[in-house]
Amino acid sequence: MGNYMLDNVELAGCSVVLGENIQRLEDEPQYWGHDRSQLTRLQNRLGLDTRRIAAPGTTVSDLCRQAATSLMQEMHIDRQEVTAIISVTQTPDYLMPGNAYVLHAALGLSKETVAIDVCQGCAGFVYGLWLAGMMSRASGHGGVLLCAGDTLSRAANKKDYTTAPIFGDAGSAAWVRYCPDVENAYFVLRADGRELDKLYIPAGGARMPASAATRTEQTYDDGSVRSLDDLHMDGVGIFSFTMAEQPQLLRDLMRFSGCDAAGIDYFVMHQANRYIVETVAKKSAIPLQKAPSATFSRYGNLNSASIPGVLCGELASVARQRDLNVVLQGFGVGLSWGACQMRLRQPSCLEPQIYSR
């Protein structure tokens, strides 16, 4: 269960658009206790450095729209070729309707183009790719626009040092199309809703509507300040989950696909932080040069746009030169995790862009 093989499906291109503002950890001494030795430790160990933040008024649909527009122009994708658009986000423009409809209108897509919303986080690109692949294969023609991203920096309390220095903002677009001569793609997907409180926003939904009481800030044992309206992350719990499940996920995927680490060019993992990427790689006997980890230091944790951020920011030049056998792996909120092994046939990976109005 949770293992899926898809044939005739290709990830043909992707793009990523980053928030307009850059935030540097060195300019935020409250997060490193005004101690430069601690700053150096955070930079060297975790990779904390800079992150991209969306300006006030910029939404994730704005970021995804620019990413999709650029990709469609680069790949000469006609609107009539888009059989469906999928939006993966946890920070939509409206409570209703979902961002798939916002993007459907912004991109001028046909009434025959299906619009689907997926509420997913750090594993969202892999889940979305699986869904887009199934839809592409079922249609037998055209392709699916997969738009994934978040402005999650706004969900973190600025006085919560466990979350505020981590998250950046970005939107991405990927073109997933039917292709009869491509190699099989293999997906392994997992979930554990019993652990949802490891990473969540307690208030603001139907279970606990936002109110004056939920906006009241509290100081926690670790010294962080947050309200029930803010993002809550159990850092120790998330790290334990990652170390327990992600190496096993890779073993499950390799067993399912019949491939091994030696046959994979790159393991493109969600950029939770550099230490986590490198530790999962070491536990899985993966050479570090096969596990890119610089995206987090440049842009922050981009949530569901994290994997496209690596493809465009670290692998774009090599992907243009030769085919790559890759593993794409995401993990986080839900809790959810998933990985895909597929061959990229010189996809159109655009260099990362900064959002412009």
Distance CA 325, CA 347 (A): 12
Distance CA 63, CA 92 (A): 12
At residue 249, the pLDDT reads 96
Percent of the chain whose predicted confidence (pLDDT) is above 90? 87
Closest of 121, 70, 110, 80 to residue 348, by C-alpha: 70
Per-residue pLDDT band at 323 (split at 50, 70, 90): very high
Q: What is the DSSP letter of 78?
A: -
Distance CA 326, CA 286 (A): 13
CB-side neighbour CA atoms (13 Å) of 172: 33
Question: Residue 41: which CATH number?
Answer: 3.40.47.10
pLDDT tens string 229-267: 999 998 899 999 999 999 999 999 999 999 988 999 999
At residue 189, the pLDDT reads 97
Range of the domain at 98: 1-357
Closest of 139, 125, 149 to residue 11, by C-alpha: 125
At residue 181, the pLDDT reads 87
pLDDT tens string 300-309: 999 999 999 9
pLDDT tens string 200-220: 999 999 999 999 999 999 998
Per-residue pLDDT band at 170 (split at 50, 70, 90): very high
Q: Which tokens go with 157?
A: 């309390």
Q: The pTM is what? A: 0.94
At residue 172, the pLDDT reads 98
pLDDT tens string 329-353: 999 999 999 999 999 999 999 999 9
pLDDT tens string 37-85: 999 999 998 999 999 999 999 999 999 999 999 999 999 999 999 999 9
Total tally of structural domains belonging to the chain: 1
At residue 2, the pLDDT reads 84
> What is the sign, positive or negative, of the torsion defined by CA atoms of 259, 260, 266, 270?
positive
CB-side neighbour CA atoms (13 Å) of 96: 1
Q: Please, what is the average pLDDT of the chain?
A: 94
**Amino acid sitting at position 153:** S
Distance CA 153, CA 147 (A): 18
Query: What average pLDDT does range 113-129 have in this prediction?
Result: 96
| Residue 86, H or E segment | strand 82-88
Cis peptide bond prior to 328, omega within 30° of 0: no
At residue 1, the pLDDT reads 65
Does residue 138 register a pLDDT over 90?
Answer: no
> If DSSP codes are grouped into helix, strand and coil, which group holds residue 50?
strand
pLDDT tens string 140-151: 788 999 999 999
Q: Please state the φ and ψ torsions of residue 50, each to the nearest 5 degrees.
A: -125, 160
Query: What average pLDDT does range 318-323 have in this prediction?
Result: 90
Percent of the chain whose predicted confidence (pLDDT) is above 70? 100
Q: Which alpha helices (H) appear in the chain, and where do they start and end?
A: 36-41, 60-75, 99-106, 124-139, 235-257, 274-283, 295-299, 306-313, 316-321
